[in-house]
Amino acid sequence: MKFFLWLALIGLGYLVVGRALFIVVSAIVERRLGKIVLMLLGGALAYLITVCWAYFMAVYGHKRAPLEWFILSTLILFAVWLFVQDRTRDEDRPWKLIRRRKELSRQIKLHLALVTGAVIFSIPFYWLVTTSLKPDERTNIFPPDIIPMVQSTVRIDGDERRVYLLQLNGGTVRVAKLAELPGGLWKVCVLADGRRVETVNASRLKPELKPVLLWSNYRDALEFLPPEYRKGLVPLWNTIYVTALVIIGTIFSSSLVGFSFARLRWPGRDLLFFVMIATMMVPGAVTMLPVFLIYRWLGWVDTLRPLWFGSLFGTGFNIFLLRQFFMTIPTDLEDAAKIDGCSYFRIYWNVMLPLIKPALAALTIFAFMGSWNNFMGPLIYISSPEKMTLAYALQLFQGAHGGEPAMMMAAATLVMLPVLAVFFFTQRYMIQGVTLTGLKA
């Protein structure tokens, strides 16, 4: 029953927020700020009525109203007030105002949906960061702390003692735990009463919590790495080195092949293009063993070469993406370059590449994220600690410190920060590159 009640609360809350935003924005556009004041007064009145109702039920009905019913009644009264306040019919408004209000309503609904999606997808990242700043004893509790918390302690006779809150003689007092006794009893010391010792049931004690940000978890995560990692600098350099070569190889090979498929005419071009597209359907697990045998024959096992050498041959998706961009460029530019005496390679390098910068930026981001998060490659080819990348080093760190969630989340956050930075600074190019793919000039 409570599930459906909270579901109704969420739906009604969205309705109220959407309607309130509609009234506020329309009042600002129409320069009728009195509507905003009336809306706020209505909200305050709805809250006051609900408080009076809850007080009446608690005093005369000998029954305390649940929190969800309190919120539901407030939202219902506020929703009724919002719809009564903006009750003018569309027939009484100019048609331009009607169209503007419909567009405003659509925009508000769209933005509410987008904000909701953003909040939902941000919860795992928020949980990751907050967990990395908590003490280990607060990482596995339910419900979890919304903000990092730590239990207060006090020093008694040279020992650190945890502080709890105890309801005693009609008030709340701070006590420190001294010892555990049989039968679920604890011996505690009342801190505010000359450190008087009491024996109480453990169920009556509530931990005294205070906000904390344990940045030391990040320092500990780096210090507890093996010495050959040099506090993470070795796997960081290996990852940057491999990622840079992967980006260079991917951009050069994919753009060169994509230009050939899009702008050059040669026998068997269309057939080979379909064969290349078909390779996108081949699972990576099928080619994993043959590729490993090739690299072993070359003597490249336990080196960084297998992690970036494959990018020199391009992939079906990358080539297809750039081919679609090359096809959108007018042929007049190519003809003009030919008249000026440019070779095909110079046309590709000086004319075509500058015109497909959005696609190259998107491809760079994809290559960066794929190489930075690559785990299977180092797992298969790397065995020496000094040649580990961050993804594989993080897995080894989890095996050694999996029982310390806060430190594990701190290490994961450090590995993920460069990817987040690249995404936030270049997301415009990535979205532009994907949305423009296949558009005709």
Residue 254: both structure tokens together: 């994919």
Q: What is the pLDDT, as a whole number, of residue 432?
A: 63
Rounded to 5 degrees, φ, ψ at 26 are -65, -35
Q: How far is C-alpha 274 from the geometric centre of its chain's CA atoms?
A: 37
Cβ atoms 366, 257 nearer than 8 A: no
How many Å is the Cα radius of gyration of the chain?
A: 32
Side-chain-facing half-sphere of 14: CA atoms under 13 Å: 14
Q: Quickly list DSSP for 150-169.
A: EE-EEEETTEEEEEEEEEET
Q: What is the pTM of this model?
A: 0.76
Q: What is the pLDDT, as a whole number, of residue 430?
A: 63
Cβ contacts of 256-261, under 8 Å, gap ≥ 24: 256/348, 257/314, 257/319, 258/318, 258/319, 258/320, 258/321, 258/322, 258/323, 258/325, 258/326, 259/322, 259/323, 259/326, 259/348, 259/352, 261/319, 261/323, 261/326
**CA–CA gap between residue 81 and residue 291 (Å, rounded):** 69
**CA–CA gap between residue 245 and residue 386 (Å, rounded):** 19
Burial track 14-26 (b if 16+ CB lie within 10 A, e otherwise): eebebbbbbbbbb
pLDDT tens-digit profile, the chain (441 residues): 566 777 777 888 888 888 888 878 877 777 777 777 877 787 788 778 777 776 676 666 555 656 666 777 777 777 777 777 666 555 556 767 778 778 888 888 898 888 888 888 889 999 999 999 998 888 888 778 888 988 888 888 778 888 888 887 777 888 888 888 888 888 888 887 666 788 888 888 888 888 888 898 998 888 888 888 888 889 999 999 999 999 999 999 999 999 999 988 889 898 999 999 998 898 888 889 999 999 999 999 999 999 999 999 988 899 998 998 898 888 888 888 888 888 888 999 988 988 888 888 888 888 998 999 899 999 999 988 888 999 888 888 888 887 888 889 999 999 988 888 887 777 776 666 555 554 444
Q: What is the pLDDT, as a whole number, of residue 27?
A: 78
Q: What is the pLDDT, as a whole number, of residue 91?
A: 54
Q: What is the pLDDT, as a whole number, of residue 290?
A: 92
206 three-state secondary structure = strand
Tell me the domains of the chain and their CATH numbers. Answer: 2-130 (no CATH), 153-207 (2.30.30), 224-435 (1.10.3720.10)
Q: What is the pLDDT, as a whole number, of residue 438?
A: 47
Q: Tokens 């990817």 — which residue?
A: 419
